[in-house]
Chains A and B, each alone.
Chain A
Amino acid sequence: MKYRYLFTSIISGLLFSSTLASQAKEIEVTRAPYIQLATESSQVVVWRMNGQIEPVVRIGKSVDKLDVPVEKILVKHSVHLWRGPEVGRAPKDTMQYEAYITDLEPDTTYYYAVYNGDQRLTPSDKSYHFKTHPKIGSKTPSRFWIVGDSGTGGRDQKLVHDGMKKFMGDKKLDGYLHVGDMAYGSGLDKEFSRNFFPMYETTLRNTVCWGAMGNHEGYTSKGESATGPYYDAFVHPAMAEAGGVPSGTEAYYSFDYGNVHFICLNSHDLDRSPTAAMAQWLKSDLEKTKADWLVAFFHHPPYTKGSHDSDNEKQLIEMRENIMPILESGGVDVVFTGHSHIYERSMLIDGAYVTPSTNKGVVLDDGDGDPREGGDGSYKKSAGLAPNNGTIQVVAGHGGTGLRRKANHVLMSKVILMHGSVILETKDNKLTLKMINYNGDKVDHCVIEKGGKVERKIVENPRAPELIIDKKILAKTGAKMPKNHEPVIPKHAEWDYLAGVNLHPAKGWTNIEFDTSNWKKGKAGFGYSDKDDNTILDMKDKFTVVYTRKEFVINDLSQVKVKGLGLAAKYDDGFIAYLNGVPIVRCLVDYGDGATAKGFHNHEANHYEFFPLSRYTRLLKKGKNVISIEGHNADIGSSDFTLDAFLTIKK
């Protein structure tokens, strides 16, 4: 446990002014104050400096009257934080301060400020506040924000945060669950400082983030010893400080907010078998809770066909086969996960543990759970936490990184390829889930309503999921083919191609002068399985990219410029096209090229799409030209692939 690193002394009334005066560099806040581990009577405020200060925290019920000094402030120096390689450590001279504020009243708002001695470090601002949890068991409404796979430090992550704030308006959050992958690429200390804390600073200063460790944090943090930058960043309950039963580790824990019991599990690097310590703790925790609502969260989704496949991957299968039976016999209502870069929200299901997943005999309600006009109505469950009465699974891996979908999972009600996050609300006998996109719009809405005794009924032939794809992603595909066009390179012409396991062309392969004499020749389209290919490639489970080139001659450039050139393509799943060495079309491949291409999206080759190239006619030369296309399959195990292109002039 990380407490081993603590200076256990309580800092109170120690003066460091002489030390500070002698220091040449200016000591600054390097991680802005954020709140952690809320209970009904306590709160932790954490922040970092790049040197030693005299830490003081004052709190009060009015922003203008912060009259209560906090007595217990724990201090960690950089050498006592994670002791990994230099690149992953907290920077030299880092001081992490953790103020443990106790003896608070439940369900009460307090304002706080952080000082260095008498010098105030945080502005006099109402946003520096926290609200203690209501009494455990009280039927206080709650509102939590759920985000996953967001830690890129990029534009989409910021938009998702802004979208949530726009949607919320004046309403307040009671907590924030992060389901992991908050600091790409390796969960390093510097990645937390760059990709997580500054991105959510305005929310983290007044809303506790309860974290679940993702696989990217798992590169540098270890669940077994609860050490690493992830464990340095968070203060989680190991001793049932906020409800539940003690886990003895911050790797998995539980807490209560009023009548909602939250359970966080480590799905990444701890033993996931039903006889292991984590499962034993889970069983005991579920036995004790008397909450009205039960919410579990962890990183690896038991059900997904987004960027990951829950039928093929170890952690996902084990969480489904070993852990879900314990959660469902304990009456879980909702499970939030991430890992798969998509939003998927299930129907009301129970007992879906077999591999591969099936929708036979496990769907209790195949409606959309939406009680509003036009919806199918709320999901109904018995009052309290009835065992095996139905769970909603939510994959919220759409918090900021590249989106991807392999297929529609048969247990999902909604599959949405769009960046966003989720708001969970409980009030009276209703639990509401809202998927909020990056614009602050509500894209999915469902409700569980509890009351009386609801008998378990199985839906024999559940409906298929509804698929929603962001217009931004759709816009990357081509337009409808023009009615009249004249080919420059005819349909199904013979192309040079390079395809095979670990076969990638040398640099410059898209240029006119490149020698393709050792490439094969074949008629377009290239691919397998879907009966629309002239050149069959043995790609499945072997490789994902094929490179094609076709030379063509233009004798009269003025004609091309007037009429407009276009690329027609039938493709599954994406491609990048080059004209005389210059990239001209990037379709459903987000970044990179060749072997390093990433960010694929699924697409079916149903018909030719038209990509106007009029802006690129300047690249054409009189005489010989070359068009080069690399076709990508989104998944190496995909059931089909197609790349069938020709060059045409609109008439």
Chain B
Amino acid sequence: MKPKLTVLLFCLVCEFLPAHEDPHDVIHALTHKLEHAGKAEKAALYFKRSTEYRASRQDEKAKQDLLAYTKLKPADHLGWLELSKLEKDNENRLQYLSKSLKLATDYYDKALSHIELAKHFYITGDFKSSLASCEEAIRLEKNGIVPVELKSHLLWSKDRLDERVKFLTKAREKNVSIVIENMWIEAMIDAGNGDQLKGLIEKNMQESRFKSSWQIRAALCAPQHSDEAKSLAKSAISEINKRLDLERPDITLLMDLARAHAITQDYDRAQHYFKLVKSSPHDPWTISELEKRIKETELSSK
């Protein structure tokens, strides 16, 4: 069957659900429908129920429904893609993603499979394949932010710093997202081009209500362990502390705080805040990058 038929069936099922109710109730109603449904309708009902199970944080049940769905509709890439997101076993996950990629027809569907593959290879330590998947995703979905972010991290982790700058320079021409812009600034600093950014950083600092992010970037442009760098980082810490409620922290501020303390060579505090970040929801590359940056700052001071 055509993969898009899944969406069609799914839409037809949803047409009979006039408004979204509590997932428990929807699951109950779908379970009843499943008992009387024919094969074609059953697939869509399994898919829908898996969505509701996920919304109610019952991932194992969601996985079982997606397994049932993929048995009924093995030619639909979406089922395999969604199943891969719930699979903890690396081999199974790779198998599901390979099927999803093979079956996807639209270029943005293929891009989504490549993004998940890139994450999978990253988690399993196969950086080369992860990079290749990122590049495919970017080629297919020119405005995507996630594959750009992951590729940027992969290049950084392999010390391909100039290549990273070139890549992000092109990426920011295609997509004006501030997230890509900030990645490019970071890449420029890492590649030793921080002096070219002084005007840009100064302008942003003046324009911003909260200046700590820009103070940290300015500190990273200054000579490492210099008084100038430490002074800027201390200003950032001071501002962050005024905003931060440590009992209920904003994780983005904690990340900045860890980096700022590392710049001031207060590594105990940097590690303390890093651990708090690590205990919160995060993507693996952001956390690994933060950890490595703090360690590198510490090592360079010895």
Residues of A within 8 A of B (CB): 1, 4, 83-88, 149, 152, 181, 184-186, 188, 215-216, 219-220, 222, 224-227, 238-240, 245-249, 271, 273-277, 279-281, 283-290, 307-309, 312-315, 317-318, 321-322, 325-326, 328-330, 339, 341, 351, 353-354, 385, 387-388, 401-402, 404, 406, 502, 504, 543-544, 595-596, 598, 600, 635-637
Assess whether B143 is in contact with A274, with CB atoms less than 8 Å apart: no
Are B179 and A275 in contact (CB-based, < 8 A)? no
Interface residues of B (CB under 8 A from A): 4-5, 7-8, 10-12, 14-25, 28-29, 31-33, 35, 54-57, 106, 108, 111-112, 115, 141-146, 149, 175-182, 207-211, 213, 242-245, 247-253, 255, 280-283, 286-287
By beta carbon, the residue of chain A nearest B287 is: A275
Docked-complex contact B11 and A188, CB < 8 angstroms:
yes
B11 touches A219 (CB 8 A): yes
* Nearest-neighbor residue (CB-CB) of A300 within chain B: B55
Q: In the complex, how many angstroms separate the beta carbon of B56 from the nearest chain A beta carbon?
A: 6
CB-CB under 8 A from A600, the residues of chain B are 25
Pairs of residues from A and B, 8 with the lowest C-beta to C-beta distance, nearest first: A248-B177, A274-B251, A85-B8, A595-B32, A401-B19, A325-B250, A329-B250, A275-B286
B residues within 8 A CB of A238?
Answer: 176
Contact in complex: B20, A273 (CB < 8 Å)? no
Q: Residue B179 contacts which of A85, A152, A284, A287 (CB distance < 8 angstroms)?
A: A284
Chain B hits for A83, CB < 8 A: 106
Q: Once the chains bind, are B106 and A88 in contact (CB under 8 Å)?
A: no
Chain A nearest Cβ from B290, distance in angstroms: 9
CB pairs A–B below 8 angstroms (22 shown): A84-B4, A85-B4, A85-B7, A149-B19, A184-B18, A224-B146, A249-B145, A271-B146, A275-B252, A277-B145, A277-B146, A290-B209, A308-B20, A312-B23, A325-B251, A328-B250, A387-B242, A544-B25, A595-B28, A595-B32, A595-B33, A635-B25
Further pairs besides A275-B255, A286-B210: 12, Cβ < 8 Å: A85-B11, A185-B15, A248-B178, A249-B145, A274-B252, A275-B286, A287-B208, A307-B20, A314-B55, A326-B250, A543-B28, A595-B33
Return B247 CB to nearest CB of chain A, in Å. 7
- Least Cβ–Cβ distance between B285 and chain A, in angstroms: 9
Tell me which residues across on chain B come within 8 A of A309, comparing CB atoms: 22
Contacts A275-B251, A329-B243; A215 near B20 (Cβ below 8 A): yes
Q: Given A87-B11, A88-B11, A181-B20 in contact, is the A271-B283 Cβ separation under 8 Å?
A: yes
Query: What residue in chain A is nearest B281 (Cβ atoms)?
Result: A273
B8 touching A280, Cβ below 8 Å? no
Which residue in A188, A247, A402, A502 is a CB contact (below 8 Å) of B19? A402
Known: A287-B209, A329-B244, A329-B245. A637 touches B179 (CB 8 A): no
Output the least CB separation between A98 and chain B (Å).
18
By secondary structure, the B interface counts as helix
Which residue in A219, A283, A385 is a CB contact (below 8 Å) of B10? A219
Do the beta carbons of B179 and A248 come within 8 Å of each other?
Answer: yes
In angstroms, how far is the closest chain A Cβ from the Cβ of B14?
4
Q: How far is the CB of A40 from chain B (nearest CB, A)?
A: 18
Cβ–Cβ contact A636 & B243, under 8 A: no
Contact in complex: B280, A274 (CB < 8 Å): yes
A260 vs chain B, min Cβ distance (A): 15
On whether the beta carbons of A315 and B55 are closer than 8 Å, the reply is yes
| CA A290 to CA B210, docked complex, whole Å | 10
Cα–Cα, bound, A339→B149 (Å): 31
**CB closest chain-B residue, reference A154:** B18
Q: Is B283 touching A273 in the complex (CB atoms < 8 A)?
A: yes
- Could you tell me if A288 and B108 are in contact, using CB atoms closer than 8 angstroms? no
A84 to B282, CA, bound (A): 32
Task: Tell me which residues across on chain A come within 8 A of B210, comparing CB atoms.
Answer: 286-287, 330
State whether B252 touches A185 (Cβ < 8 A). no
Q: A184-B19, A275-B255 are in contact. Are A88 and B176 (CB under 8 A)?
A: no
Q: Are B251 and A225 in contact (CB under 8 A)?
A: no
Task: Give Cα A185–Cα B11 distance, bound, in whole angstroms.
Answer: 8
Chain A residue numbers with a CB within 8 Å of B141 are 225
When distances are taken between beta carbons in the complex, the residues of chain A under 8 Å from B180 are 248
In the assembled complex, which residues on chain B have CB atoms less than 8 Å from the CB atom of A227?
A: 108
Known: A284-B178, A326-B250. A273 touches B282 (CB 8 A): yes
Known contacts A220-B7, A388-B245; is-contact A152 B18 (Cβ 8 Å) = yes
Q: Determine the chain B residues whose CB is within 8 A of the CB of A240 once the complex forms.
A: 176
Q: How far is the CA of A268 from the CA of B12 in the complex (A)?
A: 21
Residue in A closest to B214 when the chains form the complex, CB atoms: A287
Give every chain B residue within 8 A of A385 (Cβ-Cβ).
Answer: 209
CB pair A313 B55 closer than 8 Å:
yes
Determine which of A186, A225, A283 lies in contact with B15 in the assembled complex, contact meaning CB atoms within 8 Å: A186
> Which chain A residue shows the least CB distance to B19?
A401
User: B17 → chain A, closest Cβ, in Å?
Assistant: 5
Chain B residues whose CB sits within 8 angstroms of the CB of A387 once the complex forms: 242-243
CB distance from A86 to the nearest CB of B (A): 7
Q: Name the CB-closest residue of A to B174.
A: A248
Most chain A beta-carbon neighbours within 10 Å: one of B10, B111, B143:
B143
B213: A residues at CB distance < 8 A: 283-284, 287
A216 in contact with B14 given A314-B56, A351-B245 (CB within 8 Å): yes
Q: Which residues of A contact B22 (CB under 8 A)?
A: 307-309, 406, 635
User: What separation, in Å, do the CA atoms of A636 and B24 have in the docked complex?
Assistant: 6
Q: Which residue of A lies closest to B282 (CB)?
A: A275
B177 touches A288 (CB 8 A): no
Are A596's CB and B243's CB within 8 A? no
Q: What residues on B are CB-neighbors of A595 within 8 Å?
A: 28-29, 32-33
A502 to chain B, nearest CB (A): 6
Q: State the CA gap A224–B115 with chains docked (Å).
A: 11
Q: In the complex, are the beta carbons of A325 and B8 less than 8 A apart?
A: no
Give the one of A4, A238, A287, A315 with max B CB within 10 A.
Answer: A287
Question: Do A1 and B143 have beta carbons less than 8 Å apart?
Answer: yes
Contacts of B287 in A (CB 8 A): 275
Smallest Cβ distance from A355 to chain B, in angstroms? 10
User: Which residues of the other chain, B, contact A286 by a CB distance below 8 angstroms?
Assistant: 209-210
A329 to B257, CA, bound (A): 14
Which residue from chain A places its CB closest to the CB of B208 in the assembled complex? A287
Nearest chain A CB to B116 CB, angstrom units: 11
Closest A residue by C-beta to B181: A246
| Neighbouring A residues of B280 by C-beta, 8 Å | 274, 322
Inter-chain contact B243/A502, CB cutoff 8 Å: no
Least distance between B211 CB and chain A CB atoms (Å): 8
| A351 x B248 contact (CB < 8 A) | yes
Say whether A247 contacts B178, CB under 8 Å: yes
Residues of A within 8 A of B55 (CB): 313-315
Cross-chain contact B251 with A322 (CB below 8 angstroms)? yes
Residue of A nearest to B9 (CB): A85
Q: Please indicate the chain B residues that have their CB under 8 angstroms from the CB of A281 in the complex.
A: 177-179
Q: Is the CB of B253 within 8 A of A329?
A: yes
Q: Which chain A positions have C-beta within 8 A of B244?
A: 329
Chain A residues positioned under 8 Å from B211 (CB to CB): 287
Min CB distance A281 to B, Å, is: 5
CA distance A249 to B177 in the complex (A): 8
A149 and B24 alpha carbons, distance in the complex (Å):
19
Do B10 and A249 have beta carbons less than 8 Å apart?
A: no
Question: In chain B, what residue has the closest Cβ to A341?
Answer: B19
The distance in angstroms between the C-alpha atoms of A286 and B248, with both chains bound, is 18
Which residue on A lies nearest to B177, using beta carbons?
A248
Please, which residues of chain B bring their CB within 8 A of the CB of A152?
Answer: 18-19
Query: Do the beta carbons of A598 and B20 come within 8 Å of each other?
Result: no
In the bound complex, how far is the Cα of B116 from the Cα of A133, in angstroms? 41
Q: A130: shortest Cβ distance to chain B, in Å?
A: 25
* Complexed CA–CA distance, A111 and B215 (Å): 47
| Smallest CB gap from A283: residue in B | B252
Selected contact of A219 from candidates B14, B28, B115, B182, CB within 8 Å:
B14
Q: Tell me whether A185 and B17 are in contact (CB under 8 A).
A: yes
A188 — which chain B residues lie within 8 A by C-beta? Answer: 11
Q: Which residues of B contact A308 (CB under 8 A)?
A: 20, 22
CA distance A239 to B21 in the complex (A): 35
Write out the residue numbers on chain A whose beta carbons fall within 8 Å of the beta carbon of B253. 329
B21 cross-chain contacts in A, Cβ below 8 A: 307, 404, 598
Q: Are B24 and A635 in contact (CB-based, < 8 A)?
A: yes
